[in-house]
Amino acid sequence: MHTTVGIIGGGPAGLLLARLLHNAGIDSVVLESRDRAYVEQRQRAGILEQATVDVLRAAGAGERLDREGMPHDGIELRHGRRAHRVDFPTLTDGRRVWVYAQTEVVKDLIALQLVDGGPLHFEAEVHAVEAADTDRPVIRYTHEGREQTLTCDYVVGCDGFHGVTKNAVPEGVRTTYERTYPYSWLGILADAPPVYDELIYAHSERGFALASMRSESVSRLYLQVPNGTDPADWSDERIWDELDARFALDANREWRLKRGTVTSKAVLPMRSHVTEPMRYGRVFLAGDAAHIVPPTGAKGLNLAAADVIVLARAFAHLKDTGSADLLDAYSDTCLRRVWRAEHFSYFMTTTLHADPEQSPFETKLQLSQLDRIATSEHAAAELAENYTGLPLDPADTRQ
């Protein structure tokens, strides 16, 4: 087979790219190593930036999002047993975020792809990307028990941190920047209605906690735990008790979470990682294949979407004008946004978590920073602008 763009990875980045290319009249093939059921149930991010929502709507994938997604106009920060709300629209000229799980984004995009998009092959295990620096790169993969090849004009790796595409970029060409954190998140899904309207980020002496949601009846909650924690060591009752302790307020001592059946429990490590450049020859990296952020800033899915939006526009520009200028600028264009998101995610993570090695002096610095956000419109605006997402259009100067 031959296609214009071979896309490795059928997660939200790969599927969104395929949809945007289809709408621009550019053919593609998507190869996904897992089966459809696994992809549609893979739990990941749940916060969509304004720009991501706008693009999904324009791509034809916004109908269910608008019906079932939950728009949020702010977040609540808790520290020192006090609460402060950061109002996004007031601070960002009207921008907001949506709670709509990655599983639902993927379901919507798969449905569109299967109705009128290009080929989407599940259980297609990619082994290698070859001839990346030629005008006909090759994807070698196994599908339906047969080894196959797909020649492409271009290859886009949306196959995640452990995918094979980044191996097409020679070690002497790519540079890796990374940081690991001395703590993890214990995350749960629970059949319990949220008692809060917006996400709550809590800094406490006991460690960080986050209250999120998946719907009006399902809560998504996180606790900071030591690296190497076994989820089995945490009973449901212990988790609920610890969450209540970390979210406690002096002004409302009766505030408690609603408890329900815990349906999922997992420990998530925290990592920052960037691979540069995001292009080698005719192979491009997008999403987690190129960068990882700790989840504290809600940037992972949105960064991946931004990558493929930039890339789809570059392919459309090539098709319409014959110019590869935007493709040539892809890596530099994306990395400017990537490093801003990396910095914001690092800031949120290190400000809100209790490092086991930190001194009382460093804890006081964290509390001072949180106090400034609570008392300074400029500091709150900086957080709000980064959280809701920087503009995708370079002509938009709201930064």
Q: Which of 45-59, 222-236, 340-354 has the lowest mean pLDDT?
A: 45-59
Domains of the chain in start order, with CATH, are 2-71+98-178+270-354 (3.50.50.60)
The pLDDT score that the predictor gives to residue 397 is 35
Q: Is residue 100 annotated as part of the catalytic site, yes or no?
A: no
Q: What percent of the chain has pLDDT over 70?
A: 98
Rounded mean pLDDT, 268-278: 96
Q: Is residue 201 annotated as part of the catalytic site, yes or no?
A: yes
46 confidence band (pLDDT: 50, 70, 90): confident
Q: Is residue 346 annotated as part of the catalytic site, yes or no?
A: no
Closest among 305, 260, 290 to 47, alpha carbons compared: 305
Rounded to whole angstroms, the Cα distance separating 107 from 182 reads 34
Q: pLDDT tens digit string along 343-397?
A: 999 999 999 999 989 999 999 999 999 999 999 999 999 999 999 998 776 544 3
Q: pLDDT tens digit string along 294-304?
A: 999 999 999 99
* HEC-encoded secondary structure of the chain: CEEEEEEECCCHHHHHHHHHHHHCCCCEEEECCCCHHHHHHCCCCCEEEHHHHHHHHHCCCCHHHHHHCEEECEEEEEECCEEEEEEHHHHHCCCCEEECCHHHHHHHHHHHHHHHCCCEECCEEEEEEECCCCCCCEEEEEECCEEEEEEEEEEEECCCCCCCHHHHCCCCCCEEEEEEEEEEEEEEEEECCCCCCCCEEEECCCCCEEEEECCCCCEEEEEEECCCCCHHHCCHHHHHHHHHHHCCCCCCCCCCCCCCEEEEEEEEEEEEEEEECCEECCEEECHHHCEECCHHHCCHHHHHHHHHHHHHHHHHHHHHHCCCHHHHCHHHHHHHHHHHHHHHHHHHHHHHCCCCCCCHHHHHHHHHHHHHHHHCHHHHHHHHHHHHCCCCCCCCCCC
pTM value > 0.85: yes
Rounded mean pLDDT, 33-51: 89
Q: Is residue 299 annotated as part of the catalytic site, yes or no?
A: yes
Q: Is residue 141 annotated as part of the catalytic site, yes or no?
A: no
Residue 161 carries which side chain, given as an amino acid letter? F
Rounded mean pLDDT, 147-164: 96
* pLDDT mean across residues, the chain: 95
Cβ count near 299 (within 10 Å): 28
Q: Pick the catalytic residue from 154, 181, 183, 201.
A: 201
The pLDDT score that the predictor gives to residue 99 is 94
List all residues 6 or more positions away from 324 whose beta carbon is below 8 Å from its beta carbon: 318
Q: Pick the catalytic residue from 22, 72, 79, 203.
A: 72
The pLDDT score that the predictor gives to residue 393 is 62
Q: Pick the catalytic residue from 107, 166, 299, 353.
A: 299
The pLDDT score that the predictor gives to residue 398 is 37
